[in-house]
Copies of this chain bind each other. A is one copy, B any other.
């Protein structure tokens, strides 16, 4: 292995979930057809670096700031859906289930990682919440997600805005036998009229 191949492998290995073995495999795949593959990847990275911005309103990523969702006149200003991460915005958009605005916190509160309220975009959310009707807390159903949701809800309480959260229950296609006790308990206690 040479210096430039090693360096490429090291760069690829910085990606999340890519170990040394995968990094070697990915680098080799690029190098095998390097004349076709590498220039188009460089070009895509270059364009992304030049054009992608963080939206100063919602915290999502887009080619414009404010982003297309924040400036879309067809979307409802009355509700803000709060998510941890940009990936969650993309997931909600793919579902086409929500037509309001988003707010990306940028993570969850975490004592272990030393991430307190100041590391999240909570202040901007408080400002935005004052001019809307409903804030939907769409954080992960994990301990970290729910701790963060609880904290955000507390901070929002004095603004008087309606605060909701996503329903918990059996996911589509979920088999009861494979569900954990917590999910079954939550689904049972939140049962609805048939």
Binding site for B on A (CB under 8 A): 1-5, 7-8, 10-12, 14-18, 22, 24-32, 34-35, 37-42, 44-52, 61-63, 68, 85-87, 90, 93
Q: Are A24 and B61 in contact (CB under 8 A)?
A: no
Contacts of A51 in B (CB 8 A): 2, 4
Sample 17 A-B pairs with CB under 8 A, ordered by A number. Answer: A2-B61, A7-B48, A8-B45, A10-B44, A11-B44, A12-B41, A15-B29, A15-B30, A16-B26, A17-B22, A31-B61, A31-B86, A34-B48, A38-B45, A38-B46, A38-B48, A39-B49
Q: Are A52 and B17 in contact (CB under 8 A)?
A: no
Q: Are A40 and B11 in contact (CB under 8 A)?
A: yes
Starting from the known contacts A4-B47, A11-B44, A28-B87, 8 additional A-B residue pairs (CB-CB under 8 Å) come to A2-B61, A3-B63, A5-B62, A16-B25, A16-B29, A24-B90, A34-B48, A41-B45
In the complex where A11-B40, A61-B31, A87-B24 touch, is A1 in contact with B47 (Cβ < 8 A)?
A: no
- Cα of A31 to Cα of B60 in the assembled complex, Å: 11
